[in-house]
Amino acid sequence: METSCDDTCAAVLEDDRIRANVISSQTNLHAKWGGVVPDIAKRAHAERIEGVIAEALKRARVTMEQIEVIAVTQGPGLAIALGVGIDKAKELAARYQKKMVAVNHVEGHIWSNLLKNGKGLPERQIIFPALALTVSGGHTKLVKIEAFGKYQILGETLDDAAGEALDKAAKMMGLGYPGGPIIERLAQKGDKHFLELPRPMMQGKSLDFSFSGLKTSFYYQIREWPKEKVGGHLADLAASFQEAVLETLVKKLVRAVEKTEPKTLMVSGGVAANLALRKKLRVVAENYGLPLYLPFKKELNTDNAAMIGLVGFFKAKRGEYVENAVSLDRAARLELVTGLSD
C-alpha cells in the first residue's frame, strides 16, 4: 500500500511480477488549490483505501488469505497521509495474521525499474555499481548503489524538488495542477531560449540540486508582464523553464557518472515520464556506453504501490519484517538508509 501524498494505491505482486496495480488519483481534489492539501489528502485516502485494496485483490484474482506479506510506505511523505496506509496495513496484518514490511518511498522509486509485468517482462539485470536518479514532485536525488540496501547519496535537492519547481512555474503562468505535464505539452511548441534562466549550483563539483533560484529568476522576469503577454508566450515560457530544469538534472547526472563510473543508469520518479528528459538521458547513456533503465510503464514513474511491493519482496527475502507491527509509526522525513561511505 502507498499513501504518502495524493494517490491512494494498492498492488498485488507475485515475487517481482505485477498481478494488479491500482492507483486512485486525487489530482482533481487538489487542482483548485494549486497543490496538495494535507487534510484533503488524508480524508480522500481514508474514503478510498478499502475500495482500492478490494479492486487490487479482485484484479489479481486472490484473497487476503492468499497474501503472504503486507508492504506499506512508512515515509517520507505527508505524515497524516502516511498514517492512513500504515493504520490499514496494521489492521489487515492483525486480522489475517500476516507479516509486515515497512518501505521507504524513495527506495521504491529507485527499484521501480525492476518491476515486471504478469509475464515476467522486461527482464533486467543490474550491473553494479549502479547510479540512480530519482526525480519527482517531492524528491530529487542521485544515489550510488552497490547492491540492494547499500546506497550512497551523492546529491539531493537543497530546496524545491524538480517536479515541485515545475508545478510552481506553472502556477505563476496561471496554468493548472500538476504543472509538469502541462508545461511538457506546451514546451513542445515553444522556444527554449526565449528566456535566459540560471542553471543553479553548476559551479564547482557539487552534485546537490537547487531549483529555488531558478524559480525566483523566472518570477522576477515575468512578474510585471500583463496577462495578455504571458498568455501569448506560454509555450516559450514553458520551454525555457523546462529546459533549465532538465539541463540541470542531466548535467548533474553526467557529473555523477564521471565521478563514480557506474555500470548501469536507473532513472525514475514522476518527472522521468517527461519525453524531453528521456531523450536527453538516452544521449548520456549512449555517450558513456551504459544501459539505461526506466520503468516500463508510465504509471510506474509516479507514486504507485507496485514499487512498494517490489521493495517489500526484496526485504521479505532478507527477513526484514516489522518486529512489532503495533509500534510501526509514520516517518514523514524518513531518510534513505545508506550503507556506503564517501
- Predicted local confidence at residue 158, as pLDDT: 94
How far apart (Å, rounded) are the C-alpha atoms in residues 152 and 91?
35
- Let me know: does 48 contact 85? Beta carbons within 8 Å: no
Mean pLDDT of 133-143: 92
Identify whether residues 212 and 312 lie together within a single domain: no
On the question of pLDDT at 340 being above 70, the answer is: no
Task: Name 24's bridge partners.
Answer: 8
Using pLDDT thresholds of 50, 70 and 90, give the confidence band for residue 35.
confident
Residue 234 and residue 109 share a domain: no
pLDDT given at position 339? 67
3-class SS letters over 218-242: HHHHHCCCCHHHHHHCHHHHHHHHH
pLDDT tens digits along 141-163: 999 999 999 999 999 999 999 99
pLDDT at site 30: 84
Same domain, 168 and 234: yes
Say whether both 149 and 287 belong to one domain: yes
289 shares a domain with 249: yes
- CA dihedral for 75, 76, 80, 85, sign (positive or negative): negative
Same domain, 290 and 165: yes
Determine what percent of the chain is predicted with pLDDT higher than 70. Answer: 99
342, pLDDT greater than 70: no
In a domain? residue 336: no
Residue 27's pLDDT band (boundaries 50, 70, 90)?
Answer: confident
- We report the CATH number of the domain holding residue 11 as 3.30.420.40
What's the angle, vertex CA 252, arms to CA 251 and CA 257, rounded to 5?
Answer: 95
Does residue 39 lie in a domain region? yes
Judge whether residue 140 has pLDDT over 70.
yes
- Residues forming a β-bridge with 122: none
C-alpha cell at 308: 512498494
Same domain, yes or no, for 159 and 229? yes
Cis peptide before 129 (omega within 30 of 0): yes
Cell numbers that stand for 268 in this block: 525514475
* Count of beta carbons in the 10 Å neighbourhood of residue 118: 11
Residues 97 and 144 in one domain: no
Asked if residue 94 lies in contact with residue 106, where contact means CB atoms within 8 angstroms, the answer is: no
Same domain, 141 and 278: yes
d(CA 50, CA 29): 19
Q: Is the pLDDT of residue 87 over 70?
A: yes
The domain total for the chain is 2
Average pLDDT, the chain: 95
Please determine, for residue 295, whether its predicted confidence score (pLDDT) is greater than 90: yes
Cα–Cα dist 121/40, whole Å: 37
User: Count of alpha carbons within 13 Å of 184, Cβ hemisphere only?
Assistant: 16
Is the pLDDT assigned to residue 341 strictly greater than 70? Answer: no
Q: So what's the pLDDT on residue 94? A: 96
Q: Residue 38 class from Cβ within 10 Å (0-12 exposed, 13-18 middle, 19+ buried)?
A: middle
- Domain with 41, as residue range(s), is 7-117+299-327
DSSP-derived secondary structure letter, 71: E
pLDDT confidence band for 227 (50 / 70 / 90): very high
